[in-house]
């Protein structure tokens, strides 16, 4: 397995992985090819894929706003789970954020995603019970 930076050429394989991973919340605008291309241009050093036998088996989108890091759409193909793929992707993303001077990272996991919540908890990500997550769609 190799971990490398994600490029827009990976989009079709990555999108297919997301579509086949329960617990990933996608939307038509942000997760379109154009949306992901925009994200990768803003965050060219912090998004990664895992490859095995020339096939993408995992991915993590990671970026920052200059103050905080954010992780989105971390996914590993079911047949490759529990083999260190997710941990390697997280390590790559966190190291990239450190190099960018970022000291803290956040992510959102659906409350009913038991596999995802367990994964993040085992890696030291704590749940914040004092926050309410809010969002608003500004473009349809």
Query: What pLDDT sits at residue 21?
Result: 87
60-101: per-residue pLDDT in tens? Answer: 999 999 999 999 999 999 999 999 999 999 999 999 999 999
- Give pTM, 2 decimals: 0.91
Rounded Cα–Cα distance for residues 95 and 36 (Å): 21
120-137: per-residue pLDDT in tens? Answer: 999 999 998 898 888 888
Q: Residue 117: which H helix or E strand, with range?
A: helix 114-122
Q: Mean per-residue pLDDT for 114-119? A: 91
Question: What DSSP state is assigned to residue 8?
Answer: G
Residues 6+ apart with CB under 8 A from 56: 10, 13, 14, 17, 49, 50
Q: What angle do CA 96, 1, 101 make, to 5 degrees?
A: 5
Whether 108 is in a domain gets the answer yes
Whether 80 is in a domain gets the answer yes
20-51: per-residue pLDDT in tens? Answer: 988 788 888 899 999 999 999 999 999 999 99
Whether 83 is in a domain gets the answer yes
Whether 133 is in a domain gets the answer no
Whether 34 is in a domain gets the answer yes
9-21: per-residue pLDDT in tens? Answer: 999 999 999 999 8
Checking if the pLDDT of 105 tops 80, the result is: yes
112: containing domain: 2-122
**CATH number, residue 82:** 3.40.630.30
Q: For the chain, what's the residue count?
A: 140
- pLDDT category of residue 139 using cuts at 50, 70 and 90: confident
- pLDDT category of residue 138 using cuts at 50, 70 and 90: confident
The total number of structural domains that make up the chain: 1
């Amino acid at each position: 397995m190799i971990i490398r930076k994600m490029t827009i050429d990976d989009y079709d394989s990555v999108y297919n992985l997301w579509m086949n991973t329960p617990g990933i919340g996608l939307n038509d605008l942000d997760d379109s090819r154009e949306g992901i291309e925009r994200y990768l241009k803003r965050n060219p050093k912090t998004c990664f894929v895992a490859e095995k036998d020339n096939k993408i088996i995992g991915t993590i989108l990671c970026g920052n706003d200059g103050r905080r890091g954010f992780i989105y759409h971390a996914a590993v193909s079911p047949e490759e789970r529990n083999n260190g793929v997710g941990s390697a992707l997280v390590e790559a993303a966190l190291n990239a954020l450190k190099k960018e001077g970022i000291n803290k990272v956040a992510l959102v996991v659906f409350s009913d995603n038991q596999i995802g919540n367990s994964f993040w908890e085992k890696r030291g990500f704590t749940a914040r019970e004092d926050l309410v997550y809010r969002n608003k769609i500004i473009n349809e």
